[in-house]
Amino acid sequence: MTAVIDIANLVKTFGSTRALDGLDMRVEPGEVHGFLGPNGSGKSTTIRILLGLLRQDSGVARLFGGDPWADAPALHRRLAYVPGDVNLWPNLTGGQIIDLLGRARGGLDTQRRGELIDRFDLDPSKKGRSYSKGNRQKVALIAALASPVELLLLDEPTSGLDPLMERVFTDVIRAEHAQGRTVLLSSHILSEVEKLCDHVSIIRAGRVVETGTLTQLRHLTRTRIACELDAPAPQLATTPGVHDVVVEGDRVTCQVDAARVGAALGVLTTAGVRSLTATPPTLEELFLEHYDGQHEVVDSRVLP
Amino acid sequence: MSLAITPATAGRLVVWSRELTGTTTMLRRTIRADRWYWGTWVALLSLLPPITAAAYRETISDDAAGAEITAGLAANSTMRAMLGPPYDLLQVGGFTMWRVGGFVALLAATMAALGVIRATRAEEEPGRLELVRAGAVGRHAPLWAALLLAWAACAALGLIVSASMLALGTPAAGSVAMGLGLLLTGATFAGVGACAAQVSASARTARGIALAAVGAAYLARAVADGSATGSPLQRLGWLSPVQWAAYARPYVGERWWVLLLPAVLAAVLTVVAVRLEAGRDHGAGLRAARPGPPVGSERLRSAGALAWLLERGALGWTLGGLGIFALTMGSLSDVFATVADDPDLAERFRRMGAGAQLLQDAFYVAMIGILVVVIALIGLSFVERLRREEATGRAELMLSTSTSRVALLRAFTVPALGVSLGGAVLCGILLATPAAAREGDPGQVLRLAGAAAAQTPAIALVLGLAVAVHGLAPRARLLPWLVAGWSLIVSWVGAVLGFPQWLLDATPFALLPRLPAEPMAWTPVLAESALAVILYALGAWGYARRDVT
Confidence at B491, pLDDT banded by 50, 70, 90 = confident
Task: With CB atoms and an 8 Å threshold, state whether B296 touches A95.
Answer: yes
Nearest-by-Cβ selection for B548 from A53, A125, A129: A53
Chain A to chain B Cβ contacts (< 8 Å): 125
What was the pLDDT predicted at A253? Answer: 87
Cβ within 8 Å, pair B296-A99: yes
d(CA A62, CA A56): 12
A74 chain-B contacts, CB cut-off 8 A: 402
Nearest CA-CA partner of B332 in B293, B305, B366: B366
Residue in B295, B301, B392 closest to A104 by CB: B301
Burial state string for B482-494 with b = 16 or more CB within 10 A and e = fewer than 16: ebbbbbbbbbbbb
Among B378, B372, B370, B354, smallest CA distance to B425 is for: B372
Nearest-angstrom CA–CA distance, A41 and A36: 9
> Nearest CA of chain A to the CA of B121: how many Å?
13
CB of A142 within 8 Å of a chain B CB? The answer is no
Would the CB atoms of B306 and A95 count as touching at under 8 Å?
A: no
Element (H, E) at A10: strand A5-14
b/e B516-539 (16+ beta carbons within 10 angstroms → b): bbbeeeeebbeebbebbeebbebb
Q: How far apart are the first and last CA of chain B?
A: 65
CA–CA gap between residue B207 and residue A223 (Å, rounded): 63
A294 touches chain B (CB under 8 A): no
Name which of A209, A159, A195, A199 is nearest A34 in CA terms: A199
Torsion sign (Cα): B189, B194, B200, B203: positive
Angle at B416 between CA A131 and CA B38, to 5 degrees: 70
Spatial separation of the C-alpha atoms in residues B408 and B412, rounded to whole Å: 7
User: For residue A303, what pLDDT is reported?
Assistant: 36
Of B376, B508, B367, the closest CA to residue B451 belongs to B367
Smallest Cα–Cα separation from B150: which of B252, B30, B241, B253?
A: B30
Is A51 in the B-facing interface, judged by CB distances under 8 Å?
yes
Instruction: Using CA coordinates, name the residue in chain A closest to B302.
Output: A104
| A90/B contact by beta carbon, under 8 A | yes
Query: For residues B456 and B418, is the Cβ–Cβ distance under 8 A?
Result: no
Question: How many other CB atoms are found less than 10 A from the CB of residue A43?
Answer: 24
Instruction: Tell me how close the Cα of B548 comes to any Cα of chain A, in angstroms.
Output: 5
pLDDT beyond 90 at A137? yes
| Contact at CB, A87 and B392, closer than 8 angstroms | yes
User: What is the 8-class DSSP label of residue A205?
Assistant: T
Asked whether the beta carbons of residue B399 and residue A93 sit closer than 8 angstroms, the reply is no
Contact state of B293 with A93 under an 8 Å Cβ cutoff: yes
State whether A51 and B398 contact (CB < 8 Å). no
For chain B, the C-alpha Rg in angstroms (whole number) is 25
A contacts of B312 (beta carbons < 8 Å): none
Supply the pLDDT for residue B137: 79
Phi/psi at B294 (5° precision) = -75, -10
pLDDT of residue B288: 75
Per-residue pLDDT band at B138 (split at 50, 70, 90): confident
Q: Measuring CA to CA, how many Å separate B50 from each of B160, B177, B503?
A: 9, 15, 19
B149 and B34 Cβ atoms separated by less than 8 Å: yes
A-chain CB neighbours of B547 within 8 Å are: 53-55
Query: Rounded to two decimals, what is the model's pTM?
Result: 0.86
A295/A169 Cα distance (integer angstroms):
33
Tell if the CB–CB gap between A103 and B300 is shorter than 8 Å. Answer: yes
ipTM of the complex as predicted: 0.84
Q: How close, in Å, is residue B538 to chain A by CA atoms?
A: 18
Percent of chain A clearing pLDDT 90 (strictly above) = 56
How much is the average pLDDT of A44-56?
A: 95
SS (H, E, C) B341-402: CCHHHHHHHHHHCCCCCCHHHHHHHHHHHHHHHHHHHHHHHHHHHHHHHHHCCHHHHHHCCC
Instruction: Report the residue of chain A nearest B390, measured CA to CA.
Output: A87
Could you give phi then psi for residue B208, rounded to 5 degrees? Answer: -60, -45
Contact residues on chain B for A126, CB-CB shorter than 8 A: 289, 291-292
Give the model's pLDDT for residue B351: 56
Nearest beta carbon to residue B403 from set A73, A92, A127: A73
Q: What pLDDT does residue A1 have? A: 66
Q: What is the DSSP string of A122-180?
A: --TTSBGGG--HHHHHHHHHHHHHTS--SEEEEESTTTT--HHHHHHHHHHHHHHHHTT
In this prediction, residue A120 carries a pLDDT of 95
Pairing of strands A58-63, A273-279: unpaired
Distance, CA of B339 to CA of A12 (rounded, Å):
71
Contact B310 A91 (CB under 8 A): yes
Between chains, do A129 and B201 touch, taking CB under 8 Å as contact? yes
Closest-approach residue (CA) in chain A for B404: A73
> Which one of B300, B402, B546 would you mutate to disrupt binding with A, by most A Cβ within 10 Å of its Cβ?
B402
Q: What is the pLDDT of residues B336-381, one digit of tens each?
A: 666 556 666 666 555 554 444 567 888 888 889 989 999 999 999 9
Distance from CA of B310 to the nearest CA of A (A): 8
- Per-residue pLDDT tens over the stretch B429-455: 999 999 899 888 899 899 999 999 999
Q: Is A88 touching B (CB cutoff 8 A)?
A: yes
Q: Tell me the per-residue pLDDT of B228-248, one tens digit each, with 9 for 90 and over.
A: 878 888 899 999 999 999 999
* Cα distance between residue A170 and residue A193, in whole Å: 10
Residue type at B156? Answer: A
Virtual torsion, Cα A186, A189, A193, A195, nearest 10 deg: -150
Taking CA–CA distances from B293, the nearest residue in chain A reads A125
- State whether B309 and A90 contact (CB < 8 Å): no
pLDDT tier, A295 (very low <50, low <70, confident <90, very high otherwise): very low
Å between A75 CA and nearest CA of chain B: 7
CA distances from B491 to B101, B368, B484, B495, B508 (A): 15, 10, 10, 8, 11
3-state secondary structure of B456: helix
Q: List the single range of A91-95, A101-105, B4-8, B381-385 with lowest mean pLDDT.
A: B4-8
Going across the sheet that includes A273-279, the strands are A242-248, A251-257, A222-229, A273-279
The reported pLDDT for the residue numbered A194 is 82
